[in-house]
């Protein structure tokens, strides 16, 4: 349900609230199989932070909407990587559908995190394509926006994109399929909010998430932070994290800002050119 690191335990047992931020010019990367990797990016702005949220919406949409409310109140952009049949069967849950509409209406970006949160390396090419495109189709139906395109994507567990992850060699098979639909987005800071159990007392759980993030930032990481949109502690922790990052001199950008810094255009233009 989380990232590559949570899968290891199994083995062992599109717009933002702000306009596009202008980074200093940098050499443009090869757009053939576009992706933002797992190192701190953009390389030329070590005070930039982009917030991302996986696995939502939650079953009744309350947590996901609560996260959006925090972001809206702080004026911070974010990207939600959506599953349509994971924590919630979105087409069977009015609350989950409302959360998707709420994200869209408040100008946050939505990307594909697959329909069923599958490990791409464990399924066929046809299934990979169905898992990515299915999210886009479902969101378009819910929004009644036939032209909606989710041109950002994130593979569950980061597989096979994350260097050193199981099946990393499969990227040569997966990347050409994913690139037809969106730019793959990694992360450089993992909140590990899924490890901060919701059965902890509220204060302890919130502090756990906050510490996970800030310890990495203080250790020199910046760029894209991975949260999840389904845990009760995340909204309160998010508010604290945003406030502390601002105090430390960080500023918030969108994932699309980082894509543009790397490729010179936003994701929709990259995908349109394929």
Express each pLDDT in 111-121 by its tens digit: 999 999 999 99
**pLDDT value at position 62?**
97
Nearest of 63, 119, 67, 134 to residue 96 by alpha carbon: 63
Please state the domain extents for the chain. Answer: 4-11+45-272
Mean pLDDT (the chain) is 89
Structure tokens at 99: 């959360």
Comparing 257 with 165, the larger pLDDT belongs to: 257
User: What does the DSSP 8-state code read for residue 89?
Assistant: B
Q: Which CATH superfamily is domain 4-11+45-272 in?
A: Glycoside hydrolase/deacetylase (3.20.20.370)
Stretch 59-65: mean pLDDT = 97
Task: Collect all residues with Cβ–Cβ distance below 8 Å to 164 and sequence separation of at least 6.
Answer: none
Please determine, for residue 272, whether its predicted confidence score (pLDDT) is greater than 90.
no
Please determine, for residue 30, whether its predicted confidence score (pLDDT) is greater than 70.
no
Q: For residue 167, which phi and psi values (nearest 5 degrees)?
A: 70, 20
Strand-pair category, 189-190 with 48-54 = unpaired
Comparing 274 with 180, the larger pLDDT belongs to: 180
């Amino acid at each position: 349900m989380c990232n590559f690191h949570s899968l290891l335990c199994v083995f062992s047992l599109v717009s933002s609230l702000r306009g596009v931020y202008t980074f200093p010019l940098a050499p443009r990367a090869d757009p053939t199989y576009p992706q933002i990797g797992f190192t701190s990016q953009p390389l030329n702005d070590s005070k930039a932070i982009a917030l991302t949220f996986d696995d939502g919406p939650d079953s009744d949409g309350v947590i996901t909407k609560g996260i959006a409310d925090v972001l809206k109140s702080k004026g911070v952009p974010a990207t939600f990587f959506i599953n349509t049949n994971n924590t919630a069967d979105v087409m069977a849950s009015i609350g989950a559908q409302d959360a998707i509409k709420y994200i869209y209406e408040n100008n946050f970006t939505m990307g594909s995190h697959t329909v069923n949160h599958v490990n791409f390396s464990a399924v066929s090419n046809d299934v990979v394509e169905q898992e990515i495109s299915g999210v886009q189709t479902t969101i378009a139906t819910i929004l009644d926006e036939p032209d909606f395109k989710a041109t950002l994507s994130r593979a569950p567990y980061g597989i096979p994109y994350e260097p050193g992850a199981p099946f990393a060699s499969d990227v040569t098979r997966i990347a050409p399929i994913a690139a037809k639909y969106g730019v793959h987005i990694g992360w450089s800071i993992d909140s590990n909010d899924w490890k901060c159990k919701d059965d902890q007392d509220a204060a302890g759980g919130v502090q756990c998430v906050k510490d996970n993030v800030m310890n990495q930032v203080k250790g020199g990481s910046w760029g894209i932070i991975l949260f999840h949109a389904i845990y009760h502690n995340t909204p309160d922790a998010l508010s604290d994290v945003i406030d502390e990052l601002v105090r430390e001199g960080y500023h918030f950008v969108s994932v699309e800002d980082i894509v543009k810094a790397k490729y010179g255009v936003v994701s929709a233009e990259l995908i349109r050119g394929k």
